[in-house]
């Protein structure tokens, strides 16, 4: 008998409210409460909470914790200050991108690393051999709820005496705070393209905190609503917009997240330096004409030549039919006219900036 998919600590409280769930690689994610566009709009205009329990959380501790994190991470982990968060790619010795995620510095010898995929224990043991570091998977001990939307700061400020207003973008409080009477880590991060925060309570008080945030005015959103928002904002999903070990960070336009010019050492750095000057592929937005939404993985063509793949697609209430596409660099230029395969033929599309919504990312930094 196949293993049952893993349920979040917040599964029951959402199911009681009519949530639907989907199995993604053995984890049950909240899909929707019935109206994806309404949930999307709550992210863009109000405040809502998302269950991110399946995000994999690794605890790195020990004298060489910083060196260990840096060895697998393309951004500058060594240069992070305590309380700072950085996003980037995790790569192997060939410079191939295994995952993307965030690194949190809690102390000189203590980091969190959050990835999309589990199962890196053997790889860590191999590539971190010789370093004084302990790595522990704490996914089930660190349930994460994401409070997103322009009213997220206002809502959380009413539930705590912590200086929510003063917490900078991509930082966390280095100690737990009390939110609605519940001790929790508070992170100013998210996956929505909006102002937002993430909370990590102890498992045994997670439902209490979730209910308090809902009672304060947050609705629930699921993957169907956030899918529209993240495609608008040019945010990628592992296993969808890239496949682990099959391309470099440059294929998804991670240029600024690869610290080639910093005095830090990570796997594949020399290999990536060879690619950086002339990357063969780029990630861009495609604005697709008409109402037909191409399938994920649809071919992108220039004339008869296949020049890329539409990795994600959505109907946006603000922008119409859009998608993220990994394209050959020669066509990955704003304004280029291409075609995307749909059932029965193709539809025209135009290359646009990677984040068509809030291109300069001012909203999450506000």
Query: What's the CA gap between 184 and 207, in Å, rounded?
Result: 12
Question: For the chain, how many residues are written?
Answer: 366
- The model's pTM is 0.96
Per-residue pLDDT of the chain (366 residues; tens, 9 = 90+): 458 999 999 999 999 999 999 999 999 999 999 999 999 999 999 999 999 999 999 999 999 999 999 999 999 999 999 999 999 999 999 999 999 999 999 999 999 999 999 999 999 999 999 999 999 999 999 999 999 999 999 999 999 999 999 999 999 999 999 999 999 999 999 999 999 999 999 999 999 999 999 999 999 999 999 999 999 999 999 999 999 999 999 999 999 999 999 999 999 999 999 999 999 999 999 999 998 899 999 999 999 999 999 999 999 999 999 999 999 999 999 999 999 999 989 999 999 999 999 999 999 999
Task: Give the torsion sign (CA, 305, 308, 310, 311).
Answer: positive
Contact 144, 52 (CB under 8 A): yes
**Residue 52 CB coordination number (10 Å):** 20
Beta bridge partners of 172: 187
Scan for tokens 């009477």, then name that residue: 181
Strands in 134-137's sheet, in edge-to-edge order, are 85-91, 97-107, 110-115, 56-61, 134-137
**Spans of all domains in the chain:** 11-53+143-231, 56-137
What pLDDT was estimated at residue 291?
A: 87
What pLDDT was estimated at residue 1?
A: 41
φ, ψ of residue 153 in degrees (nearest 5): -65, -45
Query: What's the CA gap between 175 and 173, in Å, rounded?
Result: 5
**Residue 168 CB coordination number (10 Å):** 11
Asked whether this chain's domains 11-53+143-231 and 56-137 adopt the same fold, the reply is: no
Scan for tokens 């809030």, then name that residue: 358
Out of 3.30.1360.120, 3.20.20.140, 3.30.70.380, 1.10.1060.10, the CATH code matching 11-53+143-231 is 3.30.1360.120
Domain 56-137 adopts which CATH fold?
Alpha-Beta Plaits (3.30.70)
Q: Is 294 exposed, middle or buried (0-12, 13-18, 19+ CB in 10 A)?
A: buried
Scan for tokens 């005496």, then name that residue: 161
Query: What's the CA gap between 49 and 62, in Å, rounded?
Result: 34
| Residue from 138, 123, 131, 136 nearest 68 by CA | 131
**Sequence-ordered list of residues with C-beta below 8 angstroms from that of 292, at least 6 positions apart, any chain:** 321, 342, 347
What pLDDT was estimated at residue 2?
A: 57
Query: What's the CA gap between 350 and 199, in Å, rounded?
Result: 38
Q: How many CA atoms lie within 13 A of 245 on its CB side?
A: 4
């Amino acid at each position: 008998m196949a293993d049952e998919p893993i349920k979040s600590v917040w599964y029951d409280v959402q199911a009681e409210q009519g949530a639907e769930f989907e199995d993604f690689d053995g984890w049950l994610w909240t899909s929707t409460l019935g109206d994806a566009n309404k949930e999307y709009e709550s992210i863009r205009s109000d405040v809502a909470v998302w269950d991110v329990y399946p995000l994999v959380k690794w605890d790195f501790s020990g004298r060489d914790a910083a060196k260990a994190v840096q060895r697998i991470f393309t951004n500058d982990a060594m240069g992070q200050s305590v309380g700072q968060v950085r996003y980037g790619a995790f790569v192997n010795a060939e410079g191939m991108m295994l995952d993307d995620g965030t690194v949190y510095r809690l102390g000189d010898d203590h980091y969190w690393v959050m990835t999309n995929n589990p199962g890196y224990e053997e790889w860590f043991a191999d590539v971190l051999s010789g370093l004084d570091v302990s790595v522990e998977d704490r996914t089930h001990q660190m349930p994460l709820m994401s409070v997103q939307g322009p009213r997220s700061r206002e809502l959380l400020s009413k539930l705590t005496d912590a200086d929510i207003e003063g917490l900078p973008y991509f930082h966390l409080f280095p100690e737990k705070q009390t939110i609605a009477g519940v001790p929790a880590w508070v992170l100013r991060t998210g996956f929505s393209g909006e102002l937002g925060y993430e909370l990590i309570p102890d498992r045994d008080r997670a439902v209490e905190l979730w209910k308090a945030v809902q009672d304060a005015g947050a609705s629930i959103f699921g993957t169907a609503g956030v899918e529209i928002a993240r495609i608008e904002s040019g945010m990628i999903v592992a296993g969808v917009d890239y496949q682990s070990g099959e391309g470099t960070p440059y294929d998804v336009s991670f240029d600024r997240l690869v610290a080639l010019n910093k005095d830090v050492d990570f796997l594949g750095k020399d290999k990536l330096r060879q690619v950086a000057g002339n990357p063969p592929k780029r990630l861009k937005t495609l604005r697709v004409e008409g109402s037909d939404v191409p399938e994920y993985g649809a071919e992108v063509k220039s004339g008869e030549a296949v020049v890329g793949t539409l990795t994600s697609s959505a109907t946006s209430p603000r922008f119409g039919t859009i998608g993220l596409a990994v394209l050959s660099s020669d066509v990955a230029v704003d304004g280029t006219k291409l075609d995307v395969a749909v059932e029965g033929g193709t539809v025209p599309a135009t290359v646009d900036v990677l984040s068509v919504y809030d291109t300069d990312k001012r909203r999450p930094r506000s």
